[in-house]
Amino acid sequence: MIIAIDGPLASGKGTIARALAATFGLPYLDTGTLYRAVALAMTDTGHAPEETDRAIEAARNLEISLTCDPRIRTAAIGAGASVVAAIPEVRQALFAAQREFALQPGGAVLDGRDIGTVVCPEADVKIFVTADVETRARRRQDELAASGEMIGFDAMLEQLRIRDARDSGRADAPLAMAEDAHLLDTSTMSIDAAVNEARAIVEAKQGGSG
Ligand code: DC
């Protein structure tokens, strides 16, 4: 079974994807780590994410261990990831690894922006996770604060709006809900409630009624 989870930053998609992977015994890939790793590779070699040719080179020669580097979780690397992710050749360079992960025997859970639309249009279950921008800004603020990065609410809101516009507005594989995806708005939901709802969607599909 392939489960595709898409949605904007801090919608809760990662938490839901990890919980589904644990419940259904499936391997999990957070595809954002690939784009973040490209952005980190650029920073480490002294380049800005806007340097398109360098970004393409970094994506084609990506050192996969960078996806586990804790530095990919900073706000600056997240913003850089969103910039390099708008470059079609970067997306192309990262495509095969995502596809291969999805197609492993038994299936997988992947989360990102274009899993249900581009990476795995044939996924058995697609969930588009979202939440209003204020809720996401508060969640992201808390996440960053937990790792010692303090950002004010207004600045966070502004960063999210810029990121949403860039991820949704790019020409190649923009953030979008697949036509056959289930919409899960977590704005007023606890983590447990959101995870339970996602589990119910998968179980309904397994039972043939989803
Ligand atoms: O999910 P995340 O915040 O870790 O992703 C970081 C950036 O990577 C995001 O702003 C856009 C890009 N991304 C993408 O374009 N496609 C994906 N499947 C995953 C992430």
The backbone torsions φ and ψ at residue 183, rounded to the nearest 5 degrees and listed phi first, read -90, 130
Place of tokens 């790792």: 147
Pocket residues: Cβ below 6 A from ligand 1: 9, 31-32, 35-36, 78, 81-82, 85, 112-115, 163, 167
CB under 8 Å to 201, separation ≥6 — which residues? Answer: 125, 127, 182, 184, 210
The model's pLDDT over 59-78, given as tens digits with 9 standing for 90+, comes to 999 999 999 999 999 999 99
Å from CA of 76 to ligand 1 middle:
13
Q: Which two tokens stand for residue 13?
A: 């998609």
Contact present, 2 and 21 (Cβ < 8 Å): no
The model's pLDDT over 107-149, given as tens digits with 9 standing for 90+, comes to 999 999 999 999 999 999 999 999 999 999 999 999 999 999 9
Contact present, 128 and 184 (Cβ < 8 Å): yes
Alpha helices in the chain (DSSP H): 13-24, 32-44, 52-60, 75-84, 88-102, 133-146, 153-169, 191-206
What pLDDT was estimated at residue 102? 98
Residues of the chain with pLDDT under 70: 209-210
Average pLDDT, the chain: 96
* CATH number assigned to the domain with residue range 2-202, chosen from the 4 options 3.30.300.10, 3.30.2130.10, 3.20.20.100, 3.40.50.300: 3.40.50.300
Instruction: Quote the pTM value.
Output: 0.96
For residue 6, the ligand 1 atom closest to its alpha carbon is: 18
What pLDDT was estimated at residue 210? 65
